[in-house]
Structure 1
Amino acid sequence: MAVPPLQPQADNKYITNMFSCVLLVVILLLPNIVASQTIINNLPGYSGGLPFKLETGYVGVGELDDVQLFYYFVESERSPKDDPLVLWLTGGPGCSAFSGLVYEIGPLSFDYTNSSRSSPTFKLNPYSWTKVANIIFLDAPVGTGFSYANSWEGYSMTDTLSAAQTYTFLRKWLIAHPTFLRNPLYIAGDSYSGIVVPIIVQKISDANEDGRKPAMNLQGYVLGDPTTVPHDDYNSRISFAHRKTLISDELYESIKTNCNGEYINVDPNNTACINDLNAVTKCIKKIYPANILEPVCSLLSPKPVGSKWEQSLGDDSVDLLLTAPQISKPWCRSYNYLFSYIWANNQTVRDALGIREGSIREWTRCNASLSYTDNIFSTLNFHRNLIKKGYRMLIYSGDQDMIIPYVGTHAWIKSLNLTVSDDWEPWFVDGQVAGYTMEYNYKKSRLRYAIVKGGGHTAPEYKPKECFAMVDRWFAYYPL
């Protein structure tokens, strides 16, 4: 017996149902692209509704989306459809993007005068970069801030893997936010992000050249106080200390001779060099390396010296401060960071941000326990390649930063052998010298280097007004 053909009505219904099923499968196979966005209208610690658009969410990357990267997205307060889109990465590796959002370039900052240890409060930052740009603040790599993995294997990370996952994040985020595909795109970050940002930019550039969709409107990148060649960056601390009169002429001449210009990988049998390095450590032990105009926190434990002198300029810590019954004098910048720990570990805050329950235990501003392996020891070749592509680059350094001194940063920029288009000159804010700057070019590419007077590690935390003026002018193609 022959089977009668399907009726047209049934055929159409079958196709419609099949299409709906396929669409459902597609949506289910793209977790964290659409389903995990949360618009935040109110935040604990800020009185009233937020006067800017804040979105938070997760995007899955890695095999089977094992890694869940958390982000804060703030739309430009000027013109979201016209202003640049910036992906911001804080350094570390392992420092949360919240640090960049609240302590550096975001629309909120803690109101220290009106905050208590139990109740941190916010105020608006008049120098937020979101006044002129849309900014995605990303907690990367996994294990940073609120980003997490579903398996222990997912936490094993390297420079190249971190860059690859961040590139995937951005691609998925733009698919979910297609209205921003036409905005000029810049990848930005500071400190250790100087390693991963050029790799991400290279991946985007290569994908665009290969015709991968969606195409990204990449225009360039921004790096503040960046790690570039770690050995050379750290090695330049000696010449920086001498230029800033932290060590004497006699000690500087002695250490140059005895160490032969090598202050990191020191021969343990070279007693004269080690003695000189110990003398340098003695000279700077009371100075905060992130800004040499401030004192080091008295609650910090001493770190190894000698042949491992570079480790003595490590990150700040608030572990003892969190348990201290009373803040001791003199004031230390680390005290400011206490509020982020208290705020981000509050359950009401986590609920407001849409943090997934059980995803992480304790939030830390900078996670020092990452399972992270450095596998890129210089990004110079990435810069050399990208400078040929016609992109714009803004590199800036705080002149009081001893963690990544401007001495080393300017040295690697000069090693690119670019043409100087604007030679060394001052730049001004409100009629005062804000720093010094110069510009290099290669065909259509432009690299602007700026020194921020009084800036530390990193510059916007110490000189927000000047850094906002710098980036506002640069985005607008104006001279600094």
Structure 2
Amino acid sequence: MEFPKTQAEKMIRGLNLFPEFDVNIAEEDPAFTAPKIVEKGLLFSCVGDPTCVQYLGHTAGYYRLPHTKSARMFYYFFQSRNKPSTDPVVVYLTGGPGCSTSQALFYVNGPFHITNNLSLVWNDFGWDKVSNIIYVDQPIGTGFSYTSDKADIRTDSQEAAADFYDFLQAFFKAHPQYVRNDFYITGESYAGHYIPAFANRVQKGNNNKEGIHINMKGLAIGNGLTDPVIQYKAYTDFALSMKLITQSDYDSLNQLVPQCVQGIKLCGNSSGPSSACSKAFDDCTGIFNRIVKINGQINYFDIRKRCPTGPPCYNFSSVPNFLNQKSVRQALGVGDIKFVTCNLSVYDSLKTDWMKNYEVVIPALLENGVKLLVYAGEYDLICNWLGNSRWVDAMVWSGQKNFVSAPSVPFKVDGVEAGLQKSSGLLTFLKVHNAGHWVPMDQPKASLEMIKRWLQGIPL
């Protein structure tokens, strides 16, 4: 059994990250007292193209969240390299929970990559090639987002959704030229919780005419955690099928599954105590941890790889090294705030949210015409494709029967099979070949083609 902070520390060290602080708690800044966007243009340049920033009109900013003690949410906004006036607006969310979207921006699907000497180079497969894209550091305390009061640290995805909705209202008020553009919420990992919760809040705001109508068209979840009961039950099946465990291991581990499932169901009871959710977290992550332990040096984000000397399995250290430079912080307008890549306190505070089922809000969104893409790299263990495919199949909605009976067909890029996809109506599931937890990082070309076709309504 590993408790949340121990589990979080293991994950963070595995990415070669050593944050100076658990959470960003900063003094009240009088410059950000008003609940409005405070934004500035970025002055970065790219290697080989010093005009790239002016060409794209990149910006970064803070928003003073009105329903908090003193929290500021940080974000980046990148105009589309294609047609910003008509291309959709896409929000991308990183999981963790508590990991900054700067990780995705610079390593996964953003406009730039960071070189070893901390320079920026174009990412030829950035999702900004087909969309206007926003990267938000959330929940509060993540990345450059901060507060002066620990009471603002969120304890579930619904609280985070309220902050997200407030931010979107402020963003579209500050950028009215994008209000009519199609809007999508995307992300990976723990964003499998965030995305349904956030979309549900947007839908509620639209239905109640609470503010600016947000033209939400779809959601895309990559290797996410959405329905814990189904996904935790799938761990042993996935591990056996990938020869990570023996039949004997499988039989032994499956004896732990009923207690895990019962704990998740007790956690899902809204009248149940938070202690039930904490116990479910401990029981269920125990199954995952035992699979990892059996395999010793396995990289659970990509089981094809090993970590022969232990963590780190990846080296994402260029992000904090780059962003914590004084010149970069000045360019971003963050002042003396230090960048926290992955946040232990945010991770810990969401312990009772972890085992909640957020699939339950998705059927109503589908019935309201919001489409869903669930994609997963085939070699990820922690949020594996098998568990994701099973919860998508099991979801009860008007199109369930047609979706379940739909055939799996090749997803081809340049004539080569890059995955297998199943689609019916508004729902699509895609298993991506030769990819782990971060599909756009492992298969950038296929990832860009996937999101391009899906945004444009072209069959995968």
Q: TM-score range by the shorter chain?
A: 0.7 to 0.9
Q: Structure 1 counterpart of 2:350, which letter?
A: T
Whether contact under 8 Å (2:112, 2:121) holds in the other structure is yes
Q: Percent identity?
A: 28
Task: For residue 467 of structure 1, report the CA deviation from its aligned partner.
Answer: 0.8
Q: Matches of residues 290-301 of structure 1 in structure 2 within 5 Å? A: 290-296=301-307, 298-300=309-311
Q: Matches of residues 298-309 of structure 1 in structure 2 within 5 Å? A: 298-300=309-311
Q: Partners of 1:277 and 1:221 in 2: how far apart?
A: 27
Correspondence for 2:7:
none
Whether contact under 8 Å (2:423, 2:429) holds in the other structure is yes
State the TM-score, normalized to the length of structure 1. Answer: 0.77
Correspondence for 1:38:
40
Task: For residue 150 of structure 1, report the CA deviation from its aligned partner.
Answer: 2.7
Residues 1:364 and 2:346 aligned together: no
Structure 1 residues 44 and 424: CA distance shift in structure 2, 3 A: closer
Whether contact under 8 Å (2:97, 2:350) holds in the other structure is no
Correspondence for 1:432:
416
Deviations along 1:142-166, one digit per CA (max 9) or x if unpaired, are 1100000132322354322111101
Task: For residue 64 of structure 1, report the CA deviation from its aligned partner.
Answer: 6.2
Correspondence for 2:226:
228
1:454 corresponds, among 426, 434, 437, to 434
Look at both structures and tell me which one has the larger radius of gyration over its CA atoms. 1
Q: Matches of residues 136-285 of structure 1 in structure 2 within 5 Å? A: 136-256=134-254, 258-259=255-256, 280-285=291-296
Q: Partners of 1:278 and 1:68 in 2: how far apart?
A: 35
Whether contact under 8 Å (1:89, 1:189) holds in the other structure is yes
1:350 corresponds, among 329, 336, 347, to 329
Structure 1 residues 232 and 165: CA distance shift in structure 2, 3 A: same
Residues 1:340 and 2:340 aligned together: no
Whether contact under 8 Å (1:91, 1:189) holds in the other structure is yes
Deviations along 1:172-191, one digit per CA (max 9) or x if unpaired, are 11111100000001111111
Correspondence for 1:329:
none
Task: For residue 347 of structure 1, report the CA deviation from its aligned partner.
Answer: 0.8
Correspondence for 2:401:
419
2:369 corresponds, among 390, 407, 426, to 390
Q: Structure 2 counterpart of 1:396, which letter?
A: Y
Q: Partners of 1:285 and 1:262 in 2: how far apart?
A: 25
Give the gaps of 5 or more residues in structure 1. 1-27, 269-274, 301-316, 318-331
Q: Secondary structure of the residue that 1:401 maps to in structure 2?
A: coil
Task: For residue 282 of structure 1, report the CA deviation from its aligned partner.
Answer: 4.4
Structure 1 residues 265 and 342: CA distance shift in structure 2, 3 A: farther
Aligned pair count? 401
Structure 1 residues 131 and 278: CA distance shift in structure 2, 3 A: closer
Task: For residue 199 of structure 1, report the CA deviation from its aligned partner.
Answer: 1.3
Q: Partners of 1:413 and 1:228 in 2: how far apart?
A: 10
Residues 1:82 and 2:86 aligned together: yes
Whether contact under 8 Å (1:241, 1:247) holds in the other structure is yes
Task: For residue 351 of structure 1, report the CA deviation from its aligned partner.
Answer: 0.7
Q: Structure 1 counterpart of 2:222, which letter?
A: G
Structure 1 residues 212 and 288: CA distance shift in structure 2, 3 A: same
State the TM-score, normalized to the length of structure 2. Answer: 0.80
Task: For residue 412 of structure 1, report the CA deviation from its aligned partner.
Answer: 0.9
Structure 1 residues 276 and 80: CA distance shift in structure 2, 3 A: closer
Give the gaps of 5 or more residues in structure 2. 1-30, 264-278, 280-285
Q: Structure 1 counterpart of 2:328, which letter?
A: V
Structure 1 residues 279 and 217: CA distance shift in structure 2, 3 A: closer
Deviations along 1:43-63, one digit per CA (max 9) or x if unpaired, are 588862325321000011143
Task: For residue 279 of structure 1, report the CA deviation from its aligned partner.
Answer: 7.3
Structure 1 residues 391 and 130: CA distance shift in structure 2, 3 A: same
Q: Secondary structure of the residue that 2:407 maps to in structure 1?
A: strand
Deviations along 1:280-321, one digit per CA (max 9) or x if unpaired, are 444322110000011126243xxxxxxxxxxxxxxxx6xxxx
Correspondence for 1:467:
447
Deviations along 1:191-215, one digit per CA (max 9) or x if unpaired, are 1011121111111112212223311
Correspondence for 2:383:
404
Q: Partners of 1:103 and 1:343 in 2: how far apart?
A: 13
Whether contact under 8 Å (1:46, 1:121) holds in the other structure is no
Correspondence for 1:130:
128
Structure 1 residues 255 and 473: CA distance shift in structure 2, 3 A: same
Structure 1 residues 37 and 280: CA distance shift in structure 2, 3 A: closer
Q: Structure 1 counterpart of 2:194, which letter?
A: V
Q: Structure 2 counterpart of 1:416, which letter?
A: M
Could you say what the CA RMSD is over the residues aligned between the two structures, in angstroms?
2.8
Structure 1 residues 49 and 379: CA distance shift in structure 2, 3 A: same
Structure 1 residues 60 and 298: CA distance shift in structure 2, 3 A: same
Structure 1 residues 261 and 174: CA distance shift in structure 2, 3 A: same
Q: Partners of 1:279 and 1:198 in 2: how far apart?
A: 29
Give the number of the structure with larger relative contact order, counting CA–CA contacts within 8 Å between residues 6 or more apart: 2
Deviations along 1:248-273, one digit per CA (max 9) or x if unpaired, are 334334544x446656889x9xxxxx
Task: For residue 375 of structure 1, report the CA deviation from its aligned partner.
Answer: 4.6
Q: Secondary structure of the residue that 1:94 maps to in structure 2?
A: coil
Q: Structure 2 counterpart of 1:286, which letter?
A: Q
Deviations along 1:363-415, one digit per CA (max 9) or x if unpaired, are 23211232623454001211122121111111101111101111111111111
Structure 1 residues 276 and 375: CA distance shift in structure 2, 3 A: closer
Q: Partners of 2:110 and 2:423 in 1: how far apart?
A: 27
2:114 corresponds, among 110, 113, 130, to 110
